[in-house]
Structure 1
């Protein structure tokens, strides 16, 4: 796995996005590696929880610019989105708790990856957001449903319809972050949470998270279908074409600033 590292220690597996030179931007190869890492964890009876984090200065700046260009056709969108959705759902369905440890930024598909985890520990100065509507599209890797289940429809609409960027402190107030920490203490706060998770029954935690997810999102398949239908419509509009061109033409297209 060239773009994901899997590190195990004392019952905790760290799934590390390891593409720092691209700000851990998500492309098809990284998603392939993520899927392989999750498949490895599905059969590991020694691991009691998983931490998902990013190597380098941030969690993930979102979808890679090179991958974005391949989403402009229905065929490309369906193929690439299917791989993302399958990887995120598979991560979420692990029978052990998952924790996103977020520093720097988690934007777009990067934020949706953090939302696919059961819990989130976020640095106070981190930047999080779903800027898709500014790009002429919608969050389509489960972000609409997962965010709504966390913060309610009103807050989800505010964040998605305005493409708002928020810091970790506000993420904590909204209920997106379970714990907020100064960036220097992020690893320690994450470790304290994993210790609490490991003190509980692995079997009971797995069953409890499955029941909670079912009750929080009873029409999950319908939500994913609605996201795909909306995205297929959006990529055919002039707004998307113009926004995509501006984004790709801007200096530093893969930087978090370019997505604001």
Structure 2
């Protein structure tokens, strides 16, 4: 896990960092495994009272690694994929054992599942799957010049990492559709204005750490109870929503228009789509 995600705990605050800076923390198969393991491990640690989630280097997370995007469009797992990741490609609608998510959904939803509050500190890019991971946090502090996008439409896909439920909850149906149908880029400042982010800060990680320490100084029983109550109000039939995401993705992957969307994006040319039958 340490070669993709680092976890350090100090004073009740867990500092979790995506650690693939040379690739803008893009989500390859190993990163999916490491993020899920990191979150699941923290959930079982009673000494952790708050979590700060951020990315090393120039970005929070630039989204799917090309190797994963290609694997989603075909049947072969990317190089170095674990058995856990390979099972995902066999059946996107299959759930992780005992969970309402598949693996790619779990790396976003695990932060919402954690009993402790999670604060995402976002700088640089938070695109596609990277944005959906940030949406899994309870609070998002973003740099004013950060770049965020629901980027899946560029690959001919849909938000499939719990993003549909999170977007509706945070920004409302019309804005969620606007962001998803267009894949447009927005700044951290706009993200805070529309409710996608909680607030802006020039140094998101420092601001998140300060907030985490403040939270860690309060009763952990009361903080955990409050998070459970808020999640209970918002989490309406998440299991059904997550399965619907997976069915939609499974129906799109490898289709001519999805392949054309991904190919055109990689080749930096306008796509040429065929009309639906």
Do the two structures share a fold, i.e. TM-score over 0.5? Answer: yes
Segments of structure 2 that go 5 or more residues without pairing to the other structure are 76-87, 270-277
Q: Which segments of 5 or more consecutive residues in structure 1 lack a partner in the other structure?
A: 252-260
Match of 1:237 in 2: 255
Structure 2 match to 1:159:
179
Separation in 2, partners of 1:90, 1:102: 18
Q: Give the helix-richer structure, 1 or 2.
A: 1
Is residue 133 from structure 1 mapped to residue 153 from structure 2 by the alignment?
A: yes
Aligned to 2:115: 95
1:27-176 matched pairs, under 5 angstroms: 27-73=28-74, 76=89, 78=92, 82-176=102-196
Cα RMSD (Å): 2.0
Correspondence for 2:22: 21
Secondary structure (helix, strand or coil) at the match of 1:16 reads strand
**CA–CA distance in structure 2, aligned partners of residues 229 and 45 of structure 1:** 36
- In 2, the alpha carbon distance for the partners of 1:188 and 1:39 equals 24
How much does 1:219 deviate?
1.4
* CA-to-aligned-CA distance 1:69-122 (integer Å, 9 cap, x gap): 111247726279821112322222111000100000100000000001111000
Counterparts of 1:227 and 1:250, CA distance in 2? 27
**2:229 paired with 1:211:** yes
SS in 2 for 1:29: helix
Question: In the alignment, is the contact (CA less than 8 A) between 2:12 and 2:47 conserved in 1?
Answer: yes
CA distance in structure 2 between the partners assigned to 1:35 and 1:131 by the alignment: 22
Q: Distance in 1 between matches of 2:40 and 2:240?
A: 25
Q: Secondary structure at the match of 2:57?
A: coil
Equivalent residue, structure 2, for 1:225: 243
Q: CA deviation at 1:42?
A: 2.0
Provide runs of 4+ in structure 1 moved above 4 Å. Answer: none
CA distance in 2: counterparts of 1:16 and 1:192, whole angstroms: 16
Once the two structures are TM-superposed, the CA of residue 250 in structure 1 deviates from its matched residue by 5.0
Contact map agreement 2:4 2:20 (CA 8 A) in 1: yes
Displacement of 1:63: 0.8
